[in-house]
Structure 1
């Protein structure tokens, strides 16, 4: 498949609790859309069940060119593009691919934080199910964790990773 240069990933806001419906509508229109899901335990009075829910409530991602830009906005459930300085903010393809890999390998053990977290040591996972993922190390609740920061959305994704599976990445001072 040949991919046009002008296709970019964007985040779109969707109506509350309408992420899966908006994804279906976009897909029916031929738009390449992605909804990151995570597995969580939900407890009802008579049972406990594992369910998939959106990782980032109120958002989904679309891979579109200028031609499909308005098609996305005319989709039921879609509220608008995530914008910075009045312009739809493109998300680097590498961030979307890392998120897909991260969730594919670790769907049931992912946590999301919207807090402004201080930067830590940059690392790369060299073994285990998250091999190849880069992020920042933070110490939370006594465990070493890796955080993949998606700065475009202003959030961080966390997963438990053993310290011996990490390799430091040297930063080049600019």
Structure 2
């Protein structure tokens, strides 16, 4: 379900389209019939006993537009709820964003970029109440949060920090 492509024309703009719940594939199939190019980036999710492909942005797909295509028919496509818009005009997603997602696809799923950090690494906290404190990474999770251990008032303390609030130490 990742992409439905009819031609190899390079699209410069993409519509962000909200679909009906769990109807991304239906919307994409109906858009294909109308000769639109659509894209639904997929990720692998671990379920109880197996991995499955799920939309990266649940309930959303992207529809590529070339300059000659009208976007109004997308509104009435089966499976489509609405086109994201601002001030009455559709909000467009840059082609570079879509191409960056596609470049990270392996076997139909977008792969997360590798973490720049590893367990045991020393980092500096760069934001929040612990700004400037040096800590050691003790755990990492999928939600871009890292558990760090640091010394505070003579005792060791753990904190769950957003990955964007950390910087590597050049040691």
TM-score in same-fold range (> 0.5): yes
Go from structure 1 to structure 2 and tell me whether the alpha carbon gap of 1:15 and 1:66 turns closer, same or farther (over 3 Å shift): farther
Q: Which residue is 2:18 aligned to?
A: 13
From 95, 106, 110, the counterpart of 1:107: 110
TM-score, normalised relative to structure 2: 0.56
Deviation at 1:108, TM superposition (A): 5.4
Q: Which residue is 2:74 aligned to?
A: 72
Go from structure 1 to structure 2 and tell me whether the alpha carbon gap of 1:108 and 1:95 turns closer, same or farther (over 3 Å shift): closer
Q: For structure 2, which runs of at least 5 residues remain unmatched after alignment?
A: 1-7, 114-126, 128-143, 149-161
Q: For structure 1, which runs of at least 5 residues remain unmatched after alignment?
A: 111-119, 121-138, 148-162, 164-174
Go from structure 1 to structure 2 and tell me whether the alpha carbon gap of 1:86 and 1:146 turns closer, same or farther (over 3 Å shift): farther
Runs of 4+ in 1 over 4 A off after TM superposition: 1-4
Deviation at 1:2, TM superposition (A): 5.8
Query: Which of the two has higher C-alpha Rg?
Result: 2
Map 1:126-165 onto structure 2 (within 5 A).
140-142=145-147
Q: Which residue is 2:42 aligned to?
A: 37
Q: Which residue is 1:55 aligned to?
A: 56
Distance 1:109 1:8 in 2: 24
Go from structure 1 to structure 2 and tell me whether the alpha carbon gap of 1:28 and 1:85 turns closer, same or farther (over 3 Å shift): same
Q: Which residue is 2:33 aligned to?
A: 28
Q: Cα RMSD over matched residues?
A: 3.4
Q: Which residue is 2:155 aligned to?
A: none
TM-score, normalised relative to structure 1: 0.55
8 Å CA contact retained: 1:10, 1:62: yes
